[in-house]
Structure 1
């Protein structure tokens, strides 16, 4: 049974999420502010974190930054009352796997939780070898969600793994930004194409010898990207 941590300072929202996620069969713990939430994340073992952005003591952005700096790769969904793209992009760049803007429907949140938990499940052991590949400077294992450059561990978010896997599955083909949004995020209220561009930029920094002059993940101007293999 997946274990979810909710970090939310607003009591009614927090209790509503606890009740509904428990009703769906999840184990649920909660924290009422950012400081308590961070301590729980560091000391606990969760399958997913639902994290409010605007909180006392520590913001969701602060928590996300600290958690990823400690190499804790638990998937994170950010809850934000802000609709500006820059806030969404910042959250994703800090290592969040998804975000949802308040007010939201419970059905939408549950769909995103299920999608992330499904992607986070390890592949069967006999698939490990086939999913361990080298792409440019990067050696990546898509079954264990681990990555290395020159033998050293490299931090990557789940979204980065999923985007790279999709491009690899369609190597030497042009994949549109909209197709990536549809297949990787997979819900109706999608991020903008700028979000995709930001993730591609981060992947190039890990893969390319010269990210400013890519030779592996190429841009199809006005359309999307192509991974050469």
Structure 2
């Protein structure tokens, strides 16, 4: 059950650490807290957790550094990055470091909880039916839901959990236009509203990793959402 998951909070702001710890305890989570990146790495190495909440700006090793070290070690624990920086390049830096989701401060507690639930759902073991499923294909794109691996032609592409889940949703609905609300609900479990830039950031980053050309494999339908459309397919 999600509510019994263990969450590690790493933030140098004591007030934020304490308030998040109380809130998550009330939701039934086991919570551990540390004030910096060095202690975050030590804590994870000593005893693995189910999810990490990392502040980007911390003394010593920052949140980006923690994520990079864990990913380099092969640790795929879901990471939610917290930051006061809201510009797209800063979000991309978080994704580059291996974060699975990104939440700008100040944030609503309900939004954070929704994102935690979505990350934990996606990290859960696949069902027997999904485990027996073969690779999904769209043009030269191949996605293996069981192994959570993606190839474009012969090139394998490394994706974070959120990127993988977004691409899987699109490839399962190849040629179908998915609106913003549907994508937010399916991937994050929560519609963050018309002002949210999270989806656009993930789409642009996913396109970059796929090496999308012209026309792009993932196409924007203005005012509606996105669709995955292999080259040569016009409808």
- TM-score of the aligned structures, taking structure 1 as reference length: 0.80
Residues 213 and 115 (structure 1), Cα distance of their counterparts in 2 relative to 1, 3 Å cut: same
5+ residue gaps, structure 1? 206-210
User: 1:212 and 1:61 mapped to 2: Cα distance?
Assistant: 29
Match of 1:208 in 2: none
Residues 152 and 34 (structure 1), Cα distance of their counterparts in 2 relative to 1, 3 Å cut: same
- 1:47-196 matches, within 5 Å, as 47-130=50-133, 132-133=135-136, 140-146=143-149, 155-175=158-178, 180-181=183-184, 183-185=186-188, 186-189=190-193, 190-192=196-198, 194-196=200-202
CA contact (8 A) 2:149 2:156 kept: yes
User: 1:106 and 1:221 mapped to 2: Cα distance?
Assistant: 31
User: 1:33 and 1:5 mapped to 2: Cα distance?
Assistant: 11
Q: Which runs of 4+ in 1 moved over 6 A?
A: 148-153
Structure 1 position 177, deviation (Å): 6.3
CA contact (8 A) 1:128 1:141 kept: no
- 1:211-222 matches, within 5 Å, as 211-212=212-213, 217-219=217-219, 222=222
Structure 1 position 148, deviation (Å): 6.8
Please state if 1:199 is matched with 2:202.
no
CA contact (8 A) 1:4 1:49 kept: yes
Structure 1 position 158, deviation (Å): 0.8
CA contact (8 A) 2:136 2:171 kept: no
Q: Kindly report the root-mean-square deviation, in angstroms, between the aligned alpha carbons of the 2 structures.
A: 3.0
Task: Write the deviation string for residues 116-167 of structure 1: whole angstroms up to 9, x where unpaired.
Answer: 1122212222321215445667654324534578999863211121111111
CA contact (8 A) 1:8 1:52 kept: yes
- TM-score of the aligned structures, taking structure 2 as reference length: 0.78
Residues 220 and 106 (structure 1), Cα distance of their counterparts in 2 relative to 1, 3 Å cut: closer
5+ residue gaps, structure 2? none
